[in-house]
Amino acid sequence: MMKVEFKKRTQKIEIAGKVYEINVSDYDFIKKAQANLARLEEAQKKLNETRDVDALLDTAKELIDFVLGDFDRIWEAAFHDIYNLMDLAISLSEVIQKGFEYKREQYL
């Protein structure tokens, strides 16, 4: 008899001394995370035209809150520094994309 076991695929990331676990294989998570990433990319492009830092911060907050659910703590740990927050957003983007691309290459 063949046995198939399912597992949850996660990626751990440590931020300011706290370890977060990101579920990188859940369909709904991937779909929503990619939409958040697209909005973040659009906000970054608009920043060059409009200098609207608030829109960029709001979009980064949405992404971080969606993925990690702990924006306020992270914002404090980042010293209210938008560049620290953007570094985190880029890191989260890489984790999400790498998880998706690995499985896509494996199965498609």
**pLDDT of res. 105:** 62
What is the pTM for the complete model shown? 0.80
CB burial of residue 90 (10 Å; 0-12, 13-18, 19+):
middle
- 76-91: per-residue pLDDT in tens? 999 999 899 999 998 9
Cα–Cα distance measured from residue 9 to residue 99, given in angstroms and rounded to the nearest whole number = 9
